[in-house]
Structure 1
Amino acid sequence: MGCLKLRRHVVISLLLAIVVAADCATGGALTIFNVLRYGAAGNGRSDDSPAFLRAWEAACKGNPTKNIPVVYVPPNRTFLLTPLAFLGPCKSQRIYVLMSGKLIAPVKREWKGSPDAWIQFFGINGLVMKGKGVIDGQGSTWWPDNTCRNDPDPAKGVACKGPYGMMFRNCDGLRLKGFSKINGPGSHIKITKANNTVISNLWIIAPGDSPNTDGIDITSSTDVQIRNSFIATGDDCVAINAGTSNVYVTGITCGPGHGISIGSLGHGGGNDTVENVHVRNCTLKGTLTGVRIKTVQGGKGYARNISFKGIKFEAVDNPIQIEQFYCPLKVNCRNYTSAIAVSDVSFVGISGTSVAQNVINLNCNQLFGCKNIRLDRVYIQPSIAGNKVSATCNNAHGKATHTRPMVNCFLP
């Protein structure tokens, strides 16, 4: 029996070494912190949060800097985690969480701890979270209370969202790869105040009617890559928010959901900025909107140098949209003289079908307008034969070439 255990440990160590070596440029020995060895039961019923925190503490604080610490979540186990936060900084320049098992959140009536997020990572540079595991937020117990559609007070909108499934704050050099994030109580993954982030090969899934379950939200971050992932949720597949720049979104399959969005920006008169965002080679299927920029009246700042290229639509509603009068609850909507300045936006090489008639909608502020908007080789057809499609503009300045439907509403 001792030899069998030893062999199993050697095999696991070799497999982990192979997985980690694929990301390590400098090499180095591994130190493995298996959550089972720190007291996790993995039976889906016992609270394994203390064991996970003990494993993290040992990996982050106590590991020699010459080794690569690996927090290991083994397969064929289900770990129940109450809301918890993994804190940095860590001694090692890079720290791994290898996800092979399944994590589940408590249902709403058993929720204790942070109301903001289920799993949080703070101040951890060089964090790599990867594997084929599943992270299940069990959001169905939250969704009936997450909608504000009938709430007369828009200020209460935030209170109608469930907690973030995962939040990463001040985590430079973050890498997320390979795992599945499903059924978030609210938005699935939140990245904020982070530089040099790469997110790839994720599966993010929730029912299309689950409210406020964004796939990936990016805020106050720079140099972000989101690529080769499948996102099917009840809200934005990807939302790029204030204070964010140098974002590259490529190879995303999105739907159901609300498409790929810049914003919304300018809530509460805020001075919000987004720039250098490039969305490439993405497919949107049956989404409520396609690719869009949405800003709230009364805000300040800008959204500029944004491009959407090589996008394919399949039966999408509102495929191309700039909306500077964004007011989702449709109550107490006001018209202000100030607005987020939108400029240098291009839609190039876009094709597909739409269930809507108005497939290109550029609704810009009446005073500032939208500047230097470009459409080229944009071909959108009705998803139902015999229907017609059209384009509309309000104070949009730009140029359209080789576009169907025709865009004759641009101002010079």
Structure 2
Amino acid sequence: MAQQIRNLRQHFSIILLFFVIIPCYSSSISRVPYDSRAYPASYSSTIVDGEFKDLIEELGNVFSLKSFDGVGTISTSAKTVLNVDDFGAKGDGIHDDTQAFQKAWKVACSSTYGAVLVVPKKNYHLKPVKFLGPCKSDLTMQISGNIEASTDRSDYSQDGRHWLIFESVQNLLVEGGGTINGNGKIWWQNSCKINTALPCKDAPTALTFHQCKNLVVKNLKVQDAQQIHVSFVNCMNVLAAGLTVAAPETSPNTDGIHVANTRNIQISNCVIGTGDDCISIVSGSQKLQATGITCGPGHGISIGSLGSGNSEAHVSGITVNGAKLSGTTNGLRIKTWQGGSGIASNIKFQNVEMNNVANPIIIDQNYCAQDKPCKEQGTAVQVKYVLYENIQGTSASDVAINFDCSINFPCQGVLLQNINLKGEGGKNTKASCNNVKLADTGNVSPRCP
């Protein structure tokens, strides 16, 4: 056991050493209030140095200056300033402003000198709209007002998966302190999760960024999405900061921030409370760092689900460092379906405070989100090299740590360090650990049998 702990310490030391030297290029961003006093900057791990070449290859360039050259420094001092009102937008919350926004975007995107597209402090009513690139230069969309979604579901007949989508745009900054409102209530009422007599259909994602590169999205409120609130798909070099994401706890499938097939992304200082995962990270996601996250209500911070429909999934280089979760149904979760393949590896959860969280730490390789029982299958997405470090707080359930791993593909290289999860009134909690190869160091409570 002592040798196992030393090996795991060596493995994770490369990650820890690397992130110490990450430049904090986003320090000038306006931040959502977050109490960092519980996790002082001087905190350092006791894991010692080691040599793991595979980990260096996996994480060697994450968030390097080269990777983020230009991101976060997109200038708003462009020569062309455009206002959606000048293209016919009414901003009265009644008239349809979709065409005016499309016309304004087309002109801004065509500017060779850079452009700022201004959405003033009014209420704009939009049907589904695509902001399509590539654009000829850097572009800023300054959203100071409110953008509200059409509640007529027939308006989404052509593209039922998206409401606002930015596609194939480089060097884009979306900011401004305004609100994007999905008006999702009509969709929730017609969800099969609310009304089981209805067929299950996907509702639109409120705000999607697809195939975007060098992207900054900051200082916005996104609320009451039809389904997912903010989605990054097939993107590269992304900063999402100072976002407030909100929907009722009962709203179905309303993930806060969803990341798919995206590389080099930082999510920082966001307050998220919805009816589903605060952050969901699915296949193809690499080199993601989430810091200063306040989560609740919702389903916690999730990697997965992965491997559904016998698919192959790959997720690597994920770090959650500094988060507070309150009243969520899960805390830090990795979930995979039986029958899948691939790997979820090099994952760190550090400096997390739990407050009345039902399942604070959970790996579920037998995930089954369907009415019929899932059949036993011989393959699974491999889960390996997962660090849980400095996880404190209270569990709403007796089992605070639950590792339910695959018989054929057990979880490997799981390290618990400085864990203290108690029940109500300081009551001791339990750990359930099946098919997992793990070690623990420091004060760990509860411990696996």
> Does TM, normalized by the shorter one, top 0.5?
yes
Describe how 1:193-232 pairs up with structure 2 within 5 A: 193-232=234-273
Q: Is the 8 A contact 1:78 1:102 kept in 2?
A: yes
Residue 271 of structure 1 corresponds to which residue in structure 2?
312
Residue 408 of structure 1 corresponds to which residue in structure 2?
448
Decide whether aligned partners of structure 1 residues 318 and 212 sit closer, same or farther in structure 2, where only a CA change above 3 A counts: same
- What CA distance in whole angstroms lies between the structure 1 residues aligned with 2:143 and 2:435? 50
1:27, distance to aligned residue in structure 2 (A): 8.0
Amino acid paired to 2:97: D
Q: Is the 8 A contact 2:419 2:446 kept in 1?
A: no
- What CA distance in whole angstroms lies between the structure 1 residues aligned with 2:272 and 2:76? 33
1:68, distance to aligned residue in structure 2 (A): 2.2
Residue 13 of structure 1 corresponds to which residue in structure 2?
none
Residue 83 of structure 1 corresponds to which residue in structure 2?
128
Match 1:104 to one of 148, 156, 161: 148
Match 1:390 to one of 419, 425, 430: 430
Residue 68 of structure 1 corresponds to which residue in structure 2?
114
Are 1:375 and 2:419 an aligned pair? no
SS in 2 for 1:52: helix
Residue 56 of structure 1 corresponds to which residue in structure 2?
105
Are 1:35 and 2:84 an aligned pair? yes
1:403, distance to aligned residue in structure 2 (A): 4.3
Describe how 1:127-166 pairs up with structure 2 within 5 A: 127-148=172-193, 159=201, 161-166=202-207
SS in 2 for 1:239: strand
CA deviations over 1:36-62 (Å, ceiling 9, x no partner): 00000001011100000000000002x
SS in 2 for 1:263: strand
1:388, distance to aligned residue in structure 2 (A): 3.8
CA deviations over 1:143-176 (Å, ceiling 9, x no partner): 12224488699xx75x2x3210011110001110
- What CA distance in whole angstroms lies between the structure 2 residues aligned with 1:342 and 1:131? 40
- What CA distance in whole angstroms lies between the structure 2 residues aligned with 1:127 and 1:265? 30
SS in 1 for 2:101: helix
SS in 1 for 2:106: helix
Farther off after superposition, 106-115 or 190-199: 106-115
Match 1:305 to one of 346, 349, 371: 346
Residue 44 of structure 1 corresponds to which residue in structure 2?
93
Q: Is the 8 A contact 2:217 2:239 kept in 1?
A: yes
- What CA distance in whole angstroms lies between the structure 2 residues aligned with 1:170 and 1:271? 21
Q: Is the 8 A contact 2:416 2:444 kept in 1?
A: no
Describe how 1:329-344 pairs up with structure 2 within 5 A: 329-344=370-385
Flag structure 1 segments of 5+ consecutive residues without an equivalent.
1-18
CA deviations over 1:291-318 (Å, ceiling 9, x no partner): 0100000000000000000000001110
Identity across the alignment (%): 36
Residue 8 of structure 1 corresponds to which residue in structure 2?
none
Match 2:322 to one of 265, 269, 281: 281
CA RMSD in angstroms comes to 2.1
Residue 57 of structure 2 corresponds to which residue in structure 1?
none
Amino acid paired to 1:69: A
1:107, distance to aligned residue in structure 2 (A): 1.1
Are 1:349 and 2:398 an aligned pair? no
SS in 2 for 1:173: strand
Are 1:116 and 2:161 an aligned pair? yes
CA deviations over 1:190-227 (Å, ceiling 9, x no partner): 11010000000000000011110000100011001000
- What CA distance in whole angstroms lies between the structure 2 residues aligned with 1:80 and 1:27? 25
Describe how 1:246-261 pairs up with structure 2 within 5 A: 246-261=287-302
Amino acid paired to 1:186: Q
Q: Is the 8 A contact 1:149 1:329 kept in 2?
A: no
1:408, distance to aligned residue in structure 2 (A): 3.1
SS in 1 for 2:134: coil
- What CA distance in whole angstroms lies between the structure 2 residues aligned with 1:386 and 1:309? 22
- What CA distance in whole angstroms lies between the structure 1 residues aligned with 2:448 and 2:264? 36
- What CA distance in whole angstroms lies between the structure 2 residues aligned with 1:23 and 1:305? 26
Amino acid paired to 1:71: L
- Between the two proteins, the alignment pairs up a number of residues equal to 380
Residue 229 of structure 2 corresponds to which residue in structure 1?
188
Amino acid paired to 1:164: T
Higher relative contact order (CA 8 A, sep 6+): 2
Amino acid paired to 1:392: S
Q: Is the 8 A contact 2:74 2:173 kept in 1?
A: no
Decide whether aligned partners of structure 1 residues 131 and 392 sit closer, same or farther in structure 2, where only a CA change above 3 A counts: same
Q: Is the 8 A contact 1:164 1:190 kept in 2?
A: yes
Residue 316 of structure 1 corresponds to which residue in structure 2?
357
Q: Is the 8 A contact 1:217 1:238 kept in 2?
A: yes
SS in 2 for 1:50: helix
Decide whether aligned partners of structure 1 residues 279 and 163 sit closer, same or farther in structure 2, where only a CA change above 3 A counts: same
Decide whether aligned partners of structure 1 residues 402 and 108 sit closer, same or farther in structure 2, where only a CA change above 3 A counts: farther
1:127, distance to aligned residue in structure 2 (A): 1.1
Flag structure 2 segments of 5+ consecutive residues without an equivalent.
1-29, 31-69
SS in 1 for 2:366: coil
CA deviations over 1:76-106 (Å, ceiling 9, x no partner): x1000000101000000x1100000100001
